[in-house]
Amino acid sequence: MATLRLENGAILTDADAIADELAPLNIQLNQWTLGDNPALQNLLVQEQLHEIEKAQVLAALEHYFEQLQQTGNYASRDLIVLHPQVPNLAELLAKFDRPHTHSDDEVRYILDGEGVFGFIRPDGSQIELTVTATDYINVPAGTEHWFYLTPQRRIKAIRYFSGTEGWVPRYTETAIRFRPVLV
């Protein structure tokens, strides 16, 4: 379940209150159950996954991809698995930890671990949303945002794509007023 931090330090956990704060950004945040498939659960508790295991996770959750394809122009999906042993983790994360936009929606389904999305709202205020397992989020194209991992530095998430060319970050150089979450 997601939690939201405001610049005044308030932390919101109520889903309706979080939805109200996200409304000016048109961000969609839903809960998608992972179900009770023991094979899937066994894979998700592992820190690392081989390619064949990633394919098994995607297959177990393919019904969500099929649903998305019925409602929008989704072409592909993949599973990203980040953990402290990923050799180029710092380099990977550095691409996204300062404010940027994309020309496509950023669509993620969090399966394990956690991450933090920061957003700049139309009035200039900043918020940070911590997403965890079962959170599905759609950040609309053009939304100024950033992303980083919490100190556990671990996340598994399905990324849904309508294309690949929209995936290049365009940096906006806006200063982040939040400090990193210290958990």
Full DSSP string of 76-93:
EEEEEEE-TT-TTHHHHH
Q: Could you give phi then psi for residue 179, rounded to 5 degrees? A: -95, 155
Give min distance, CB of 105 to Fe ion, in A.
10
- Residue (152 or 172) nearer to Fe ion, CB: 172
The footprint of Fe ion on this chain (CB under 5 A) covers a number of residues equal to 1
Locate 170 and state its tokens. 């365009």
What are the backbone angles phi and psi of residue 12, rounded to the nearest 5°? Answer: -105, 135
The residue type at 100: H
Min dist. Cβ of residue 143 to Fe ion (A): 9
Rounded to a whole number of angstroms, the minimum distance from the CB of residue 138 to Fe ion is 12
Our CB check for Fe ion shows the closer of 101 and 134 to be: 101
| Residue with Cβ nearer Fe ion (106 or 112) | 106
Residues in the chain, overall count: 183
User: What is the smallest separation between the CB atom of 146 and Fe ion, expressed in angstroms?
Assistant: 7
- The CB-of-101 to Fe ion minimum distance in angstroms stands at 8
For Fe ion, the closer of residues 44 and 110 by Cβ is 110
C-alpha pair distances (Å), 170 with each of 99, 104, 158, 177, 179: 8, 11, 22, 19, 22
Indicate the residue among 56 and 162 with the shorter CB distance to Fe ion: 162
User: By beta-carbon distance, which residue lies closest to Fe ion?
Assistant: 106
Site of tokens 């809960």: 31
CA–chain centroid gap for 177, Å, is: 20
Site residues for Fe ion, window 60-119 (CB under 5 A)?
106
Residues forming the site for Fe ion (CB under 5 A):
106
